[in-house]
Chain A
Amino acid sequence: MADQEVTEFLDRDAFRAALEQAIKGREAKNAPFSTAWANGELQRHHFARWAENHFHYVGPFADYLGYIYANTPATATDAKDFLLQNMYEEELADVRHTDLLIRFAEAAGTTRERVMDIDNCTAVTKGLQGWCYAVSFREHFAVATAALVVGLESQVPSIYRRQYPVLLEKYGFSEEEAEFFDLHITSDEVHGERGYQIVLDHADTVELQQRCLQLVRHGADMRFSYTKALYDTYVAPELQPA
């Protein structure tokens, strides 16, 4: 039922199934950079380029959530609490998540300065960042949660569960250097699940359900395109005959 139009209000189980279906076929774990990574075909400098891009997508995650938080009415206490806790976990509860990303980036051979300089990421990465800002700023809080948490964040465990073991076994990173990935495998299981619950609870009209599904599709498309662009920009040119 890919891209099937929703014309009537779906119950919780049907809506959850539709949200899951909206990601299918667009999963970033199947983008060429992800498969090359999982198959052990990348080199260390590719991870440096990945980190220089990934920072500009996930670095402002608390900012995106902050916009959604401000758009969430005080009556939706569960949603507000989830958003605040998610922001706190990104930034303060633990080692700051972007610092874990930079630790990995440095192990891959780049620097904090290069990672934080937005000139070092692709145009597609900048587009993904801009899309995240626009959605979080402008959409109903249930729709924005669907887009960013269900469409993007909930994909993380399935991506990193394939990529993390090869980082240790094939590419020779230590557990310490690759902690960014191990942390997100498990924490995003719970963020993803709580995100689903907020969307199921608060997308309470047909129109909101339709919009959630549409933006989950867009979000998954954005993440796929971002990951594909990494391959096209940094890996494919090295494969061309000189």
Chain B
Amino acid sequence: MPTIHFRTSGRSVDFDEGDDVNMLRAALRHEAGVPFKCASGNCGTDRVLVESGAEHLSAPRKRERELLGPELIAAGYRLACQTYVEGDCIVSWDPEQQPLISERAADALTKKWLSGDAEPGRGDD
């Protein structure tokens, strides 16, 4: 049975052979403590260093490539929310790590509203 070992928290999660599982979902379900915020490749809070088993991970997705950039990816970093695992791997992270995008969402929204950029509505049917 393949195993994801979350080294920073000491948790190990097994899954069925032949399955592939979303790394952040597995971490949440088994309380492995990977920090996260957006779950959609926007903040980078859930970046993990892949210590082994990189060959068992899905290829980096568009948002992951854009957010991490080639250097961090080459250094072995992945975003847990964007990554599917199909075999053994070991990952670690800094428990204090912050989002890669530092602007607070509330600040970005305030800026957007103050700029007067009216957006089309989404309808109400």
Residues of A that sit less than 8 Å from B by CB: 55-56, 59-60, 63, 89, 92-94, 96, 98-99, 112, 116, 118, 129, 157, 175, 179, 182-183, 186-187, 189-194, 196-197
Contact = CB atoms under 8 A, between A and B. Distances in A.
B119 A182 contact: no
26 contacts: A59-B125, A60-B125, A89-B39, A89-B40, A92-B105, A94-B42, A116-B122, A116-B123, A118-B123, A129-B125, A179-B62, A182-B61, A182-B62, A182-B63, A183-B40, A183-B63, A186-B82, A189-B24, A190-B24, A190-B28, A190-B36, A190-B39, A192-B25, A193-B25, A193-B28, A193-B29
Interface string B24-61: 11001100000010111110000000000000000001
Contacts of B125: 56, 59-60, 116, 118, 129
A96 B22 contact: no
Nearest to B81: A186
B116 interface: no
Contacts of B40: 89, 93-94, 183, 186-187
Shortest beta-carbon contacts, A-B, top 5: A190-B39, A187-B40, A118-B125, A189-B22, A116-B123
- Judged by DSSP, the binding face of A is helix
- Judged by DSSP, the binding face of B is loop
Interface residues of B, number: 24
Residue among B40, B61, B119 with the most chain A CB within 10 A? B40
B120 interface: yes
B109 interface: yes
Contacts of B38: 89, 93-94, 187
Contact of A93 (B25, B42, B82): B42
A63 B82 CA distance: 27
Contacts, number: 72
Residue among A63, A175, A190 with the most chain B CB within 10 A? A190
Contacts of A59: 122-123, 125
Interface in B107-125: 109, 119-120, 122-125
A194 B109 contact: no
Contacts of B81: 186-187, 189-190
Given A96-B122, A182-B63, A189 B25 contact: yes
A198 to B, nearest CB: 12
Nearest to B123: A116
Contacts of A175: 62
